Structures are given as C-alpha cells and as structure tokens.
A and B are shown apart, each in its own frame.
Chain A
C-alpha cells in the first residue's frame, strides 16, 4: 500500500459560487506525517479541513484519501465513510453523554469498544473523568476527551482545527508534549490548522502557509 494518505489537487472552494474562499490548493500528506496549515484569518484554513472531512463540496479540483478520490465536482463520499477525524476549537462534545460515552460514540458496533475506550481514557489521562459530563470538566479536559473521541474509530487522518486556542499557555505546553508522544506512538497522520507558528513547529514536521501554496 502506498504511503500517501491525503492528496489535494487544484482544490478550490466557494460558499456562494461567486467569491472564491480557497484557490487551487495542491498538497500531499504521507502516512504518519504531521503537517500544519498556517495562514491569516479568512485564508480558508478551516474550510480546507471541512472540505477534506466531506462537510463542504469543492468548487473545483479533487481530494483523494489513500489513493481514492473522495471529493470532486461530480463525486462526494459521505463524511462518515472517509475514515477521518476532526477536532475543533469550540466545544463539540455531546453534552448529554458522559466522557466515556462520548468516546464510544463512533465505535458502537466495534466488539472491542470497551477496551478502546479504556485505552484512550488512560492514554489521555482522563480515566477519572469517564463518568463525568462535559459541563463538569475543565476546558483542557474537554479537549482531551474530544481528541480521544476522534481517535477512537482509528482514523487514517486526524485533523485538528485550532484545538488549543481556548486553553492557557501552561496547559497548552503540557498537552503538546503528551500529544507529540501519543501521535508518534500511534503513527497518527495529522493535519493541524493553527495561526500560532510556535504551536505548528512543536506539533508538526512540515508547515504549509496557505497563502504560498
């Protein structure tokens, strides 16, 4: 199998069919590679992740995941069939489910469900929060839970959309160290969107400025 996980070719996007929000993006990401997308506000960083996740349709160009075209003008593979994960800055945990149930949400048919949940709880050091609801835990703990939830289905590609921007500096630094270790151990392919160059350097090997692509 090829090492190529993600391939974007001449990808453009427009919300209204008139103004172009992303113009001719070409990018490749290999297995276990960690890539950061940088760029000023409004440059279309988050839109790019939503396009890869299948939450937006491209205006032109193609997106291929593991060599298979998943988005083009004529073709759209549903988000749940792309085997990608997405963690966003805002709180996207389901407020009616405990941390444990949030993590297990995407793997309900998996026979190893309990083991996966407990492994991830331990990996992200949130075992003690397993029966808590999102509103009962801190912002940093919520982001750990959100990361664990997105990694539970073992996605080929994990996308992070400024996931730490709401956290304080000390908490961020703690998380960076832990996440680097987790991502390396699991050989997790990452696409990180951030406006923070330091964060990009710590968490990824390759930085792409959206203005220069």
Chain B
C-alpha cells in the first residue's frame, strides 16, 4: 500500500505538468512558438551535444590513464578526479565570470603581471554557450569517469594481451578494444550528464542562454503565465524522458562490461618521465578547472569580502539549508528502507515495478517538479483546505516533498545495494530464531544497513543543499537557503558576498564525495 500511495504523490506533479499539453494554448504560447521556441530547442540541443562530447573524452581518457598506467600522482588522481561533483554548475559559472570577464580576477592578474592596459583582455568571453559547455563538462565529467573507471578495471589482462599480439598498439587497444567495450557504460554516464544539464537553471541563467529552463522561468515569473510555463515544461519533460529511457537501456547493455567487480587488471605500465608528465597534466586539467580554480576564487572572494564571512544572515541561511537537508535526508532514507524491506518480503513484479517508478523524480528537472507542485498545491489549497489563504503553496512541507521526490532515487540505490549484501539465509536464520517482521528490520537489517543508510542520508543532504530552481520557487516567502542566497548575490553581481554560502554548499557537497573517494581508495588497496 505504501509504495502505491507514494507513487501517486510522486507522480502527481509530473502528470499535472503533462496534462497542460491538453489544455488551452494562450497568446503567450503562440508568441513563444513563433519567435523563441526554435531558439530554446537549438541552444539546448547545441549545449547537450557539446557537453556530451567533452564529458565523454574527459571521463574516459582520465579513467583509462589512472587504471592502466603508473605515473606521478596516479593514486591521488584516482579519487580526486571526482571532487568536481561537489561543485554545482551554477557555482562554477559564477566563479568563471568572476575570473574571466574583461575585469575579472584572471584578466586583472595577467594585466598587472605584464603591465598591460585596461583595454587588453587575455581570456575570451565566457558568458556564452561555449562557456556553459565548459562549465557543465568540467563539473559533470565525474559521472562518466566513475563508470568508465569501473568498467576499465574489469577488463581482463589476457584480452588486452591478445589484442597486442594481434598487432594493436597501446593507443590502438584503447580506441579499438577497451573503449568500444565500455561504451554502453560510458553512454549511461553521459545520459546522466545530459539530464543534469537539461535540469540546470542557475548556470544558463547566469550566462543568459535561452534554454528550456530559463524559458520556463521567464514565462512564469515574467509573463505570470503558469499554464504556458507548464506547456514548455512538458516539452522539456518529454526530452528528459527520452534520455531517461536511453540511460536505462545503456545500463542493461553495460552488464557485460562488469563481469567481476573484484577483478584487477594487469600490473600498471610504468610511464617514463616525459609520458608521466603528460599523464599528470591530462588528469590535472579537469581537476584544476572543475575544482581547484573555483575553490581558489571562492576563498579569494571570501577574504576580499568587506562584511564578515560568518555573519547573522549566513548563519540563518546555513541553518535553513542544513535543517531542510537533514530532515529530507532522514525521511527519504527511511522511506527507501521501508520500501525495500517490503519488497524483500512481498516479492512480486508489481511492487518491484512500483518501487523503480518511484525513482522517476531524479530525472525530472527541479524546475518542472516545482511547476507541477505549485499547480497541485494551488488546487488542493483552493478545493480542500482554506480557500481564503494559501496553506500548502509556499510552505516548508511543499519544499520538503519536492526534495524527497527529487532525491528518492539516490537513497533507494544506496539502500538497495545494501540489501543485496544481506543474504536470504540471514533472513531465514533470523526467522527461525524468533526475529520476524519489524524485529528483523531492527535487529538484523538496520545494523547491517547502517553504512547504506548513512550514505543515503548524506547523498540526499548534498543534493538538497545544492538544489536551486525548486527551492527558489517553492520556498516560503523571505525564506533563504544557501543556494538561494548564492543565486541572489550572484544575480546582483555581489560575488564577494556570494562566496560564503557558495563555500558552505561545496563543503557540504564534499561529505558524500569524501565517502565515495574513501571507497575508491579502499577498493585499490583490497585489489
């Protein structure tokens, strides 16, 4: 019953958005259709194409180098290459413009070193779609890196040796053998990157690029036309749905790339000093652009800020963000635990299907979720609650519900993989020894799932703290979180003030990354 009720709640905003396609079309829609929709489609398509190509190259090449070669800094790069995941694209976008605008810090530094005039600008303009491609690629490539690394690690030594005996060079082995084999896994990672790119609002808004998300936001907040915004959102949802299906099918095809997770490849090839330098550089560049550069700029801004780094407002917004994150993290992890526990004892195709459908929220852009939820809450407020005032619309409850829908998939995957390690013999033993039902959950499953539960909570927390568009729309009046505060400061070009909330977001985002990198390090030792 619980999975079914949750499914109704989780899918309601999506159905509401999609149902707008069958409603009336206003003049605003006609205007959008005639003048800007083609721009939205072409710029969105160009953006995701550019990002896909770049993340594919960065992710697979770095993964290939760290799994196959021994070079200076290899063990450091193995885990540190995932650090950019802690930087939301919109924060990298803010630091990029802060650095590379004509009067940005990077241009100022070069001018002062070489004593150049103020009309000289060294770096190209980044406030365009090319800048956005770089921003998304260097924050999101770890999705491709992680799956590719795991797939490369599972490739057998004898297979590569046979290829070398058949005349392939080292590079040939990469392009003609290893890369085609891991392609389904890497494409799965790429689909996640595309979904994240399509969902973004903060970065494209900062670069003033006309995409679906900026269009939806402007139609709603600028033209005050929720119906047309929902119709635009439906189109974006259909595109996201297509990539969601592609991601799922790549995941199925990727099965053959990971036949044995404990398998270690051949001894890594020790690179001579010059090649070692190139390997170092190839791995360092994505880490530098995606993590070191923005962190350095944020710290620089924090020191330059006239107001205190930790002021009253910062403490309040941090408290708001962290409380929301903790509540959503615990509730979502607990829901995932209960659902997986139910599935274990009532195995059946329907309940399993229902449970996997609950994960759909992850693919839905936060902005679309927010649009659907606002419409749903307005309907409930007007028809079932006090119609003279708003109760659910703009409430903390609504915000929490959106976070839970959006992040359920993260919690579920962590709990699900934890459950895979609890054997059915343990359940049988527990039953025969008198612990059944909730007793088994409390005495056997929960202690064994401690780490999975903690990971699920932390993953949700990190996503909640970063989430911008849903928070921006669904938050109660005058209620600010770290993400909203960063966005507002950046929109007002008050970058120094934006530093403290941005740094806090990155620090919180680093917590699950720290655990993930610890796992990567320990998998290396055990291998």
Contacts and interface: CB of A to CB of B under 8 A. Distances in A.
Contacts of A149: 429, 433
A54 B431 CA distance: 10
B444 interface: yes
Which bracket fits the contact residues of B? 10 to 19
A105 B425 CA distance: 15
A57 to B, nearest CB: 14
Nearest to B446: A96
B432 A88 contact: no
Nearest to B448: A96
A79 B435 contact: no
Interface residues of A, number: 24
Given A90-B423, A92-B423, A92-B425, A84 B432 contact: yes
A140 to B, nearest CB: 18
Contacts of B443: 105
A205 to B, nearest CB: 25
A78 B433 CA distance: 11
B434 interface: yes
The secondary-structure label for the interface of chain B is: helix
Contacts of A105: 429-430, 433, 435, 443
A79 B426 contact: no
Contacts of A96: 447-448, 450
B304 interface: no
A91 to B, nearest CB: 7
Nearest to A96: B447
Contacts of A153: 433-434
A48 to B, nearest CB: 14
A27 interface: no
B428 interface: yes
Nearest to A95: B448
Contacts of A79: 428, 431-432, 436
A55 B428 contact: yes
Contact of A106 (B423, B425, B432, B448): B432
A58 interface: no
Nearest to A104: B433
Interface string B417-456: 0000001011011111111100000011001101000000
Nearest to A78: B436
Contacts of A95: 448
Contacts of B433: 80, 105-106, 149, 153
21 contacts: A53-B432, A78-B436, A79-B436, A80-B432, A80-B434, A80-B435, A86-B432, A88-B428, A90-B423, A91-B423, A92-B426, A92-B428, A94-B426, A96-B448, A97-B447, A105-B430, A105-B433, A149-B429, A149-B433, A153-B433, A153-B434
Interface of A: 50, 53-55, 78-80, 82, 84-86, 88, 90-92, 94-97, 105-106, 149-150, 153
Q: Which 6 A-B pairs have the closest CB atoms?
A: A106-B433, A92-B425, A80-B434, A96-B447, A79-B431, A92-B429
